[in-house]
A and B are shown apart, each in its own frame.
Chain A
Amino acid sequence: MYRSQQLALKYLTAAIALFGVMIIAGLLSACYYVHPDLLFGILHFNIAKILHIDTMIIWLLMGFMGAIYWFLPGEFGRELAGIKAAEILFYVFCVAVAVVAVVFIFVQYGGSDEAALWLINQGRKYVEAPRWAAISVVVVMAVFAYNVLGTAYAARKITGVTAVLMVDLIPLLALYLIAFPAISNMSVDLFWWWWLVHLWVEATWEVLIGCIMALTLMQLLGTSRRIVETWLYIEVALVLGTGILGLGHHYFWIGTPSYWLAIGGFFSALEPLPLLGMVVHAIYDAGTHRMKTTNQPAFYWMLAEAFGNFLGAGVWGFMITLPQINLYAHGTQWTVSHGHFAFWGAYACGVLSVVYLVLQKTRGLTHVDGALWKWSFAALNLGIVGMVGGLLVSGVAQAFVERAIGGSTHAAFIAGQENQWFVEGMVTRLVFGFVFAAGYVVLVWDMVTLGKRLPVPAKLQAAE
Chain B
Amino acid sequence: MFDDPAFWRAGAISTVAVMVGVLIMLTVDSLAVISPGGAHVPPYTVINQHIDYKFDTKRGNDVPVIAGSEPLFGRAVDESAAEALIDKGKLVIQSRACINCHTFFGNGAYYGPDLTKAWIDPDWDTWQAITGTSTREDAMVSFLIDPERYRTWTRTMPNLRLTREEAEATVAYLKWMAAIDTNGFPPNFGRMGPKR
Contacts and interface: CB of A to CB of B under 8 A. Distances in A.
Given A44-B101, A241-B19, A255-B105, A230 B111 contact: no
B40 interface: yes
B55 to A, nearest CB: 12
A237 interface: yes
Nearest to B123: A410
B182 A233 contact: no
Contacts of A260: 26, 30
A336 B110 CA distance: 9
A413 B118 CA distance: 12
A185 B41 CA distance: 9
B81 interface: no
A190 B123 contact: no
Given A240-B12, A253-B106, A257-B29, A182 B94 contact: yes
Interface stretch (A76-84, A309-317, A398-406): A398-406
A45 B105 CA distance: 20
Interface string B8-27: 11011001100110110011
B105 A230 contact: no
A interface secondary structure, majority? helix
A50 B94 CA distance: 13
A128 interface: yes
A405 B193 contact: yes
B66 interface: no
B184 A408 contact: no
Contacts of A49: 100-101, 109, 111
A414 B22 CA distance: 41
A410 B143 CA distance: 14
A404 B188 CA distance: 7
A122 to B, nearest CB: 6
Nearest to A226: B5
Nearest to A50: B100
Given A233-B12, A244-B23, A328-B187, A160 B5 contact: yes
Contact of A230 (B3, B192, B194): B3
Nearest to A115: B95
A45 B39 contact: no
Nearest to A120: B95
A45 B102 CA distance: 10
Interface string A30-48: 0011001100110011110
Given A40-B156, A187-B41, A408-B188, A237 B91 contact: no
A256 B5 CA distance: 39
Contacts of A244: 16, 19-20, 23
Contacts of B130: none
B107 A332 contact: no
Contact of A123 (B29, B86, B94, B181): B94
Contact of A407 (B15, B107, B118, B190): B190
A125 B93 CA distance: 12
A94 to B, nearest CB: 23
Given A191-B31, A237-B15, A256-B40, A330 B190 contact: no
B12 to A, nearest CB: 4
A251 to B, nearest CB: 7
B17 to A, nearest CB: 10
Interface string A396-428: 001000011111111101100100000000000
A226 B3 CA distance: 9
A304 B37 CA distance: 49
Nearest to A187: B34
B105 A123 contact: no
A331 interface: yes
A237 B12 contact: yes
Interface string A98-124: 000000000001111100110011111
Contact of A409 (B40, B99, B122): B122
Given A112-B91, A113-B91, A245-B19, A45 B111 contact: yes
B154 A191 contact: no
Contact of B34 (A123, A185, A240, A335): A185
A229 interface: yes
A344 interface: no
B97 interface: yes
A152 interface: no
Nearest to B106: A331
Contact of A125 (B89, B100, B160): B100
Interface string B47-71: 0000000000001000000000000
B33 A256 contact: yes
A233 B3 CA distance: 12
Nearest to B116: A253
A407 B191 contact: yes
A261 interface: yes
Given A184-B83, A184-B87, A187-B40, 9 more contacts: A36-B156, A121-B95, A122-B94, A186-B90, A190-B107, A191-B34, A331-B107, A408-B117, A409-B122
A-B interface, 8 closest residue pairs, ranked by CB to CB distance from nearest: A331-B106, A123-B94, A46-B100, A408-B186, A253-B185, A233-B8, A244-B19, A112-B91
8 contacts: A45-B109, A109-B96, A109-B97, A112-B88, A248-B26, A251-B30, A333-B110, A408-B186
